[in-house]
Amino acid sequence: MKKWLLITGLLILPGCSSQQEQEQAQPGEDTRRYAHGVSIIENSVLWSEKSDEQRKHGWNHDIYKKEIGQSEVETLVSNPEAQEPVSASSTEESIIITYEDGYDTDRNVSQRYKLYDYNWQLLKEGTLLEGGHSGHVDSTDTHHVIFWSNDWVNGGGVNDLGSGKEVFVSTISNEGELLHEIQLSEENVRDSWPMVAASDDNALLVWQQFNDEATKAALHFAIYDPETNALTVAPSELLPQVDFYIYSVSYVQATEQYVVAAQTEKGGILLLLSKDGERIDQIDAPDLVREADPAIQDNTLIFPQMPSSYFTVQVSDDQLQLQPSEELDVDWGTSGTTGMFLDAQNVYFATLNKEGLEEIFVEID
């Protein structure tokens, strides 16, 4: 029998597709102003959130870290302005975090990164570009790959907030040195919200490109080799229309394949891609949660489902196999969710909403 446990507001705080579900996935209030971006490295959860004091003022976030199953919270990065959304990854040699930073910049924000050892001692830090933002990171066996956006175009999108203008991919060494950088965007386009998933030796890059009216986005992708700094699959369209920000990319080590999840006006869609970017399978799926990544173990992926469920997908024989959804008495946040298997029967999720970080422990059959 399925069991779940919810823990709310850890220490930082006091204590088929329907129109209603779509409104929940794209909330009228921008909850990113309270907490935005969450990652898991081994047993450590990292997220960006306002402290109690910061909630009295504007858009200010620090980056926090805690261990799964423990209550103590450590402040990892604290500066004026906002450091969000945090994204983290690791190789066997080092851990990297990247985030958009409003502190000490001439261009409103800058995309920055910090490199740590496995004792969380800072080794190196750097700025990719002033004006950069919305970066996400994943790591091959030997390189860290940061996919990020630059500049901003006002108007259109969710709540008419606008979008990024162009996307770049950067390769960082295990010593924290910037090795390579490529701009993927052509002139006069609106490319934004770049997502990345890495295999042992390459990375899948996925991003949204606004149409001329800035009312819908096409999902684009490319395959990147950080060793040679080459796009082995050139940028091209993956899906013609997706909901803004509601998509994710994952690498399934057991099958050496990528899974892309995206929300459309008809519901969720899952795509199975080879490491070379070949489309292998595509299936319909339940409604997805904005800015949410699945928990993965072997060939099993567990996705958060709007508004308060999860569904399981098996990758087998070059096919995606969807299992029935399971209900939880939890409302997923829309400003960052990620998960991991603790063992074969227990899954942990961290989700962010207006109240901050919530931890969910689920026992699966």
- The DSSP line for 79-106 is -SSBB-S-EEEE-SS-EEEEEEE-SS-S
Helix (H) or strand (E) segment spanning residue 112: strand 110-116
Q: What per-residue confidence (pLDDT) applies to 238?
A: 99
* Residue 29 binned pLDDT confidence (cut-offs 50, 70, 90): confident
DSSP-assigned beta bridge partners for residue 349: 339, 360
Look at residue 22 and tell me whether its pLDDT is greater than 60: no
More confident residue, 13 or 213: 213
Q: Which of these ranges, 14-23, 57-66, 154-163, has the smallest mean pLDDT?
A: 14-23
Cβ-proximal residues to 19 (8 Å cutoff; 6+ apart), any chain: none
Q: What is the DSSP string of 160-213?
A: G--EEEEEEEEEE-TTS-EEEEEE-PPTT--EEEEEEEE-SS-EEEEEEEE-TT
The type of residue at 320 is L
Distance CA(195)–CA(243), nearest Å, equals: 15
Q: What per-residue confidence (pLDDT) applies to 215?
A: 92
**Cα 179–101–216 angle (5° rounding)?**
90
The type of residue at 343 is D
**Cα 22–320–217 angle (5° rounding)?**
35
Is the pTM higher than 0.85? The answer reads yes
* Residue 54 binned pLDDT confidence (cut-offs 50, 70, 90): low
* Residue 23 binned pLDDT confidence (cut-offs 50, 70, 90): very low
Q: What is the CATH number of domain 31-289?
A: 2.120.10.10
More confident residue, 151 or 28: 151
